[in-house]
Structure 1
């Protein structure tokens, strides 16, 4: 299991609903959430896929900015 953490521009519940149409259908995603209270609108994806760039492209295809969170 991998946990990928991203910085996004997802800003409200409507954005989350739009994103859910992409992420909920993805077979490799076991769970995901967005912290709207965080300034960086952190997206966490739990998956069996170790390649985080796949998820950046997926989120961007839904119309949102997405970059890996660097510690």
Structure 2
């Protein structure tokens, strides 16, 4: 059975225009593998990381002025 604990999923209110800002913020944090599903009503943010935790990402996104919560 595969372990997918390194894939972090979040529900957000992000828009296409926010991608540049996030690219810069994520680069500073060493996050290189991420994407936002703008076609999904939950604007799902997916981050691949073995080191970062959900709470840290939520604080990071909210600190930029966006809504963010763990997607279950």
Report runs of 4+ in structure 1 exceeding 2 Å deviation: none
Aligned CA-pair RMSD: 1.5
Corresponding position of 1:25: 28
TM-score, L = length of structure 1: 0.84
Stretches of structure 1 that go unaligned for 5 or more consecutive residues are none
Match of 2:54 in 1: 52
- Which residue matches 1:9? 13
If each structure's strand is expressed as a fraction of its own residues, which one has the higher value? Answer: 1
Aligned length: 68
**TM-score with structure 2 setting the length:** 0.83
Query: Aligned partners of 1:63, 1:21: CA distance in 2, in Å?
Result: 15
Which sections of structure 2, spanning at least 5 residues, go unmatched? none
What are the Cα deviations for residues 17-61 of structure 1, in whole angstroms up to 9, with x where unaligned? Answer: 11112112212x240000101110000000122521011111111
